[in-house]
Structure 1
Amino acid sequence: MTKPHRIAIVAYEGCQLLDVTGPAAVFGAANEGRVRPFYDVAIVSPDGGAVVSNSGVALHSRKVGGQPDTLLVAGGSRGLKAAMDHEGLRRWLRKAAPGARRYGSVCTGAFVLAAAGLLDGKRVATHWSSCDRLAERFAGLEVDADSLYVVDGKVWTSAGVTTGIDMALALVEADLGAALANLIARHFVLYARRPGYQSQFSPMLQAQTAAETPFVKLIDWMQAHLDQPLDVPALAARAGLSERSFYRKFTEATAKTPAHFVESLRLDAARTLLAEGLPLKAIAAKVGLRSSARLGQAFERRFGMAPSLFREMHAAA
């Protein structure tokens, strides 16, 4: 009988609770309905026993040891430095990671792997607020400050908190197929499965985090009508403002000119449609860029690659 794939999720005092429980719940859901579980999920810690997460919830853990198939390190703030400096944990990580089929981190767990020398030469993700700090402290790695999660060979790293769920779903897809990963996402009532290349800050989220912006509803409408003219006159009229007033207020609220913001919305939508395999001409029409040539020019300017190459890299399985 084939043994379940062992997944070790490293926790420690002060770790981010959802960094641990989010991926663990995804892997647990993948076992439901199976005669034999595919995954054996273990929460491990440097010394074993109860570890208290950042939210005060205590997690029961085993002491690190053995050889996992998949190894993930949770992030955190309080307790992160102690985890980075724990010689026993670093020694086990250096031993276990090379033998694992894949290893990685959620959020600032990347700091723990980097401290163990396991991310040198790799492109990695971490929480947006820690990208600069990670890059400055560990010059031997490349920080992708934009992506939700990054796969570089056998190394899987994700950005902040909920992105660990996105990455875990991608791991399940790699093991057991997209149908099961999508079923789990529906069971979890997720709004959507987010691909790794999606930005930590979508244009809509950026607008929503600016609490005083008067344009959240307008931007929501823009996203649903990308194929329509979204120039300043049209948007100003919809917002009930003069063109000059709209331009000034919109730029102040979003930190982008209307034209740049609209292009960001259109190119974000184009990336999703490319991954779904739609023809370039159809995508250009759907997102309001009119022609495949114009789509190609804007896409290369923003992302540094042709749409066709992006589609090859991210085509849905």
Structure 2
Amino acid sequence: MEFKPRAHAREGLPYLRVAILLCPGFTLTAMSGFVDALRLAADHGDRSQQIYFSWDFLAAGPLPLRASCGLEITPTNILRDPEAYECVVVCGGRLKFIDQLAPEVEPFLATFHKRGLPIIGLCTGSFVLARSGLLDGRRCALHFETSQTFSERYPQAVAVTNRSHVIDGNILTCPGGVASAWVATLLISAYSNSTRANKALAHLLMDQAPPKFMRKVTDSNAGLSTASGLTRRAVEAMEFGLDSPCSITELARKLNVSKPSLNRAFSQDLNSSPARFWRRLRLMAAQEMLLGRKRNITEIAYETGFSDTAHFCATFKREFGKTPKTFQQQAVTA
């Protein structure tokens, strides 16, 4: 699915004027990934001129405008004239600051919604959109760590945790992080062309295909389709953490359940322990990487969360009956 420009999209340059609303404690990675892709597509070369696209940073809360990492930013415009833009991007931040949002935010967003123009929520920007009533009955993409809180606060919206982005009507949401750059390229392609989007991706050293956040494990799909909500949430967390696994105790804490409850759910639903299931997910991801032949075995070991190559090779052989090197060689000659 992709954004489609409105028939009444403005003529001439820039193709799109974007208002970037920075919430109190906004996430720097989400903001910078989005705006850097836009910047690179907005000009010839890398001169940072706002020719084909333009944008302003607007404070959605009190000043000083500070990112969650502590960096302060000076807004380039005030939250006053939505008619000056054809797209609004809400870059969310730490949820503890959501009550500090300016009262002008909701009517500002409502103007875009009435005009049918693109509204984008990055990171916890979905909370702001839902708080404004724009996600009632709509699907939205969230990080698994915030999905439960979101569903408790806004049960009228449908939280999705296995997608890098979700488009529902004129609203696009994204869990944040590096996926925000991909979201920007959707806008770039829709309002100019894919060449400009690819230029941005090339400068950012990103492949020209969006990342898969959800790993498909064929031998567990049947079990997951009938599994409990706890098991499905845990598997989603595992898939997001393929490269940085934590202890099952820590995973249970993040999911707000006890470790015995998590063990019991996996045993009943998947006939496996959480640790064994997570290890197999990582090893199957490693198989995909080995087939691609774009990374060496050491790189794949670290990208799937193993502390060293020897541990990875031993675990891989124990699971599949062959070493990673043998698996890769046999795949080539098959």
Relative to the length of structure 1, the TM-score reads: 0.64
- Residue matched to 2:18: 7
Which aligned pairs between 1:71-82 and structure 2 lie closer than 5 A? Answer: 71-77=88-94, 80-82=97-99
- Residue matched to 2:147: 131
Which amino acid in structure 1 is aligned with residue 115 of structure 2? G
2:118 to 76, 81, 102: 102
For the 8 Å contact 1:128–1:160, the answer to whether it is kept is no
2:245 to 210, 214, 217: 210
Structure 2 residue 198 is the aligned partner of structure 1 residue 182: yes
For the 8 Å contact 1:83–1:112, the answer to whether it is kept is no
For the 8 Å contact 2:166–2:172, the answer to whether it is kept is yes
After superposition, the C-alpha distances for 1:246-294 in whole angstroms (9 at most, x for unaligned) are 35xxxxxxxxxx7xxxxxxxxxxxxxxxxxxxxxxxxxxx9xxx9xxxx
Which aligned pairs between 1:164-183 and structure 2 lie closer than 5 A? Answer: 164-183=180-199
The separation in 1 between residues aligned to 2:111 and 2:284, in whole angstroms, is 53
Distance 1:114 1:183, change over 3 A: same
Distance 1:225 1:65, change over 3 A: same
- Residue matched to 1:294: none
1:128 Cα deviation after fit = 1.9
The separation in 2 between residues aligned to 1:78 and 1:26, in whole angstroms, is 26
Gaps of 5+ in 1: 227-237, 248-257, 259-285, 291-317
For the 8 Å contact 2:144–2:237, the answer to whether it is kept is no
- Residue matched to 1:21: 32
- Residue matched to 2:80: 65
Aligned residues: 238
- Residue matched to 1:225: 291
CA RMSD of aligned residues (A): 3.7
Which amino acid in structure 1 is aligned with residue 12 of structure 2? T
After superposition, the C-alpha distances for 1:145-197 in whole angstroms (9 at most, x for unaligned) are 110001111111001322111111121112222222122111111255316x7
Which amino acid in structure 1 is aligned with residue 56 of structure 2? A
Relative to the length of structure 2, the TM-score reads: 0.61
1:50 Cα deviation after fit = 4.2
After superposition, the C-alpha distances for 1:81-116 in whole angstroms (9 at most, x for unaligned) are 2245x3222222223332252102001110011101
The separation in 1 between residues aligned to 2:31 and 2:279, in whole angstroms, is 37
The separation in 2 between residues aligned to 1:140 and 1:214, in whole angstroms, is 35
The separation in 2 between residues aligned to 1:144 and 1:30, in whole angstroms, is 29
For the 8 Å contact 1:218–1:239, the answer to whether it is kept is no
Which amino acid in structure 1 is aligned with residue 93 of structure 2? G
1:43 Cα deviation after fit = 0.7
After superposition, the C-alpha distances for 1:206-244 in whole angstroms (9 at most, x for unaligned) are 442126998868853553238xxxxxxxxxxx955798x
Match of 1:161, SS? coil
Which amino acid in structure 2 is aligned with residue 112 of structure 1? V
- Residue matched to 1:229: none
1:31 Cα deviation after fit = 1.1
Distance 1:217 1:129, change over 3 A: closer
For the 8 Å contact 1:13–1:79, the answer to whether it is kept is no
The separation in 2 between residues aligned to 1:137 and 1:162, in whole angstroms, is 26
The separation in 1 between residues aligned to 2:29 and 2:182, in whole angstroms, is 12
Which amino acid in structure 2 is aligned with residue 64 of structure 1? L
Structure 2 residue 49 is the aligned partner of structure 1 residue 32: no
The separation in 2 between residues aligned to 1:242 and 1:20, in whole angstroms, is 38
1:10 Cα deviation after fit = 0.6
For the 8 Å contact 1:70–1:100, the answer to whether it is kept is no
Which amino acid in structure 1 is aligned with residue 20 of structure 2? I
1:122 Cα deviation after fit = 1.1
- Residue matched to 1:113: 129
Identical columns (%): 18
Structure 2 residue 165 is the aligned partner of structure 1 residue 154: no
For the 8 Å contact 2:38–2:188, the answer to whether it is kept is yes
After superposition, the C-alpha distances for 1:117-161 in whole angstroms (9 at most, x for unaligned) are 111121111222111211221122111111000111111100132
Structure 2 residue 43 is the aligned partner of structure 1 residue 43: no
Which amino acid in structure 1 is aligned with residue 243 of structure 2? Q
The separation in 2 between residues aligned to 1:202 and 1:127, in whole angstroms, is 9
The separation in 2 between residues aligned to 1:77 and 1:180, in whole angstroms, is 32
Match of 1:41, SS? strand
Which amino acid in structure 2 is aligned with residue 186 of structure 1? A
